[in-house]
Structure 1
Amino acid sequence: MLQLRDGDNLSCRATLRLEEVFTLDDPTDTLRAVWKVKEQLRVVLRTGSLEDAAEARKVLEELVKAAARPETNRLYRTVCRWWKEIEVLIITGATTGKVEANNTAIKNIKRTARGYRNAANYKSVILLRSAVRTAA
């Protein structure tokens, strides 16, 4: 679980535990290499300019080559394939997070409202719950 957390937000104790895991449980240093790739991808997506992103992408490429794992290679190919979209994210900061959250909320309403036979009532429940979420 430590490997999934943000490297920036690890406590001193968690950092020591992570180092212990890398040292004792990973004699080939594969886990450390893959973790560095994950952290560098976070750096790429967090950058504020295209120049910084390009520089971070180069570092990511070097870390992927050093890791030499099929998973990290596939991840890097995906980043390259989606690079134009990642640039848009970096420039605008726009994501589809709100739309995805609304879709999830509607699916949850649908799951709990199996008994609705009237489409107008179903639509009203969705709109009312959405209004309550935005008002709070």
Structure 2
Amino acid sequence: MVRLLPMAFALPLLAGCAASAMEASNSGADALSERDERRMAALLDGKTPGDSQPCINTRPTTQTSIIGNQMILYRVGPVVYRNDLDGMCPTLRSESTLVSQRYGSSQLCSGELVEVRDPYSGASFGSCALGEFTPYRPE
């Protein structure tokens, strides 16, 4: 019985910590830095958003720009696709390297995971789930 007493005190504390962590992770995206705001504005300037789509073709060459820890911009020719990640990706930084597994397909689709890696050491910092792709086409 004595062993259960400390556990009776610990469980409410652990539950409170878990609730606080969930509230912090659900409180929204980190505000974009001034640098990320400028980069996003420059990449989307003069372009009009279209309807979201589940997949994009990554060929021809795709240029990737990471904006904050919840957004990736993919430039395919003149079109820039905005991908708001499905949930926060706290390890994602503008200097991160993204790795996706392609098995004979040139498509990238919502729900797929992209691995976040350090560009210098190659260390993996987890994965992030892609959301829908919103095309921004020249006006």
Instruction: Return the index of the structure with the highest Cα Rg.
Output: 1
TM over 0.5: no
Please state which structure has a larger fraction of its residues in strand: 2
The two structures have a TM-score, normalised by structure 2, of 0.20
**Structure with the greater relative contact order (CA < 8 A, sep ≥ 6): 1 or 2?**
2
Please state which structure has a larger fraction of its residues in helix: 1
